[in-house]
Amino acid sequence: MQEKKIITILGSTGSIGTQALEVIEQMGSAFQIGYLSAHNNIKLLAKQIAKFNPLGVVVKNEKDAVEIKKLIDTSCKILYSEAGLIEAASDDRNDIVLVALVGFSGVLPTLSAIEHCRTICLANKETLVSAGAIVMEKAKQFKSNIIAVDSEHNAILQCLIGEEKSSIEKIILTASGGPFLNIPFEDNPNLSLKNALEHPKWTMGSKITIDSATMMNKGFELIEAKWLFDLGQEKIDVLVHPQSIVHSLVQFVDGSVKAQLGNPNMRIPISFAINFPKRYKFDFPRLDLAEISKLDFFKPDLKKFRCLALAYEAMKIGGNSCTIINAANEVAVNSFLKSKIQFLDIAKHIEIALNKINIIRNPSLDDIIETNLETRSFTEKLIN
């Protein structure tokens, strides 16, 4: 009998984390759970402990560690804070670490996982946006394989199987365009928080849902693709495709194009990532192209979606500039979620931060951490 693989899921109470646990549950006995982690939702974490019997869990702080102990009747290890996430990620028993944390919080646990584990399934794109050069260098050094969970990058990975890197002419990331695709931005009272949270195709955590409405999500995915596939900016295009059926495409030097298609269902890229390079049989609803009948594609409007233009700009500047736009975006989106700023202010604040914070050409990890803190504090002051 094949031995069970140990999988740790950082961010197990989130949208990706819970779907990953559903996939694992459907697979029966293929995996044993290493660590799980929660930030605010310790009640859900307690339920996950009862169901999946992990080796350990990570919570936000010492108080929650005491609290969770009262909620469970098993003796799993209880860790807390960022140090706890790093310890969980560095447990040598892990065969796979799935990083489904949101924002910059993924950076240090991912780096620690790379040093100790051969397979990292990375959903947390902000880690590559903030510290892509350092993460990819470390992965090379420790021979750790970074497998993208993000549907577009997962699609490209699927298209590249059996292909040589020199055969790639360009990759094309598709974008749904989010809830505001066909809504004009000027003087529009409909750019409300409620409307921004209603994504037409995907049900996701609140932060990435707002990033989709501003299209900063696609900007981050450009940066993510650059690092994952080691391609120059000129080789990565974006196409708006509102149906979200074609998840991304690769154009090759002979003019041939490969695409990966499927219903918008994150369980598919999650299962592909955690089972890579094998496929596991699932009975998710099948794609019915005859029923869909029509697929649309067009270029994004960079004047309207200023966040996407800012991501292109930051990519061009390089250095720590992507760390800056990520940190400013995290603060601005959080403020929008708390109704402290308007939708269109998100891009404005990011632009101010990008123009004000010092650019460092070849940032070290310490520079990246410092840039993140400095930009957050700058943007918070700006908003308050």
Residues found near Mg ion in the complex (CB under 5 A): 150-152
Q: In degrees, to the nearest 5, what angle opens at C-alpha 16 toward C-alphas 248 and 269?
A: 35
Output the smallest distance, CB 121 to ligand NDP, in A. 11
Q: Judged by CB, which is closer to ligand NDP: 141, or 377?
A: 377
CB of 327 to Mg ion, least distance (A): 20
Minimum CB separation of residue 272 from ligand NDP in Å reads 13
Q: Which is nearer to ligand NDP, 17 or 178 (CB)?
A: 17
Between 61 and 233, whose beta carbon lies closer to ligand NDP? 61
Binding-site partner at residue 105 among ligand NDP, Mg ion, none, CB < 5 to 8 Å by type: ligand NDP
Minimal distance, residue 64 CB to ligand NDP, in Å: 10
Amino acid at 23: V
369 burial type by CB count under 10 A (0-12 exposed, 13-18 middle, 19+ buried): middle
Smallest distance, ligand NDP to C-beta of residue 15, A: 4
Least distance (Å) between residue 102 CB and ligand NDP? 4
> What six digits make up the tokens of 250?
């690769």
Residues 88 and 34: beta-carbon distance below 8 Å: yes
* Cα distance between residue 68 and residue 58, in whole Å: 10
Q: Which is nearer to Mg ion, 64 or 152 (CB)?
A: 152
226 interacts with, out of Mg ion, ligand NDP, none, CB within 5 to 8 A per kind: none
Of the pair 23, 57, the CB lying nearest Mg ion is at 23
How many other CB atoms sit within 10 Å of the CB of residue 272? 25
**Considering CB distances under 5 to 8 angstroms, the limit depending on partner class, which of ligand NDP, Mg ion, none binds residue 87?**
none
247 φ/ψ angles, rounded to the nearest 5 degrees:
-85, -20
Give the footprint of ligand NDP on this chain (CB under 6 A). Answer: 11-17, 38-41, 100-102, 105, 123-126, 150, 202, 204-205, 207-208, 266
For residue 21, the minimal CB distance to ligand NDP (Å) is 11
Backbone angles phi, psi at 252, to 5 degrees: -105, 170
The DSSP code sequence of 310-376 is: HHHHHHHH-TTHHHHHHHHHHHHHHHHHTTSS-TTHHHHHHHHHHHHSPP-SS--HHHHHHHHHHHH
DSSP string, 212-257: HHHTHHHHHHHHHHHHHHT--GGGEEEEE-TT--EEEEEEETTS-E
Q: How far is the CB of 109 from ligand NDP (least distance, A)?
A: 8
Residue 16 binding result from Mg ion, ligand NDP, none, given CB thresholds of 5 to 8 Å by partner type? ligand NDP
Q: How many other CB atoms are there within 10 angstroms of residue 261's CB atom?
A: 14
> In this structure, what token pair is assigned to residue 132?
């892509």
State both tokens at 107: 């950076």
C-alpha pair distances (Å), 115 with each of 10, 122, 146, 276? 16, 15, 12, 20
Residue placing its CB nearer to ligand NDP in the complex, 23 or 204:
204
Shorter beta-carbon distance to Mg ion: residue 91 or 150:
150
Nearer to Mg ion, 295 or 352 (CB): 295
For residue 122, report the phi and psi dihedrals to the nearest 5 degrees.
-110, 110
Q: Which does 38 bind (CB under 5 to 8 A by kind): Mg ion, ligand NDP, none?
A: ligand NDP
Residue 185 Ramachandran class (φ > 0 left, ψ -120 to 50 alpha, else beta): alpha
Closest to Mg ion by CB, 78 or 156: 156
CB of 147 to Mg ion, least distance (A): 14
Choose from Mg ion, ligand NDP, none: what does 347 bind? Cβ within 5-8 Å by kind: none
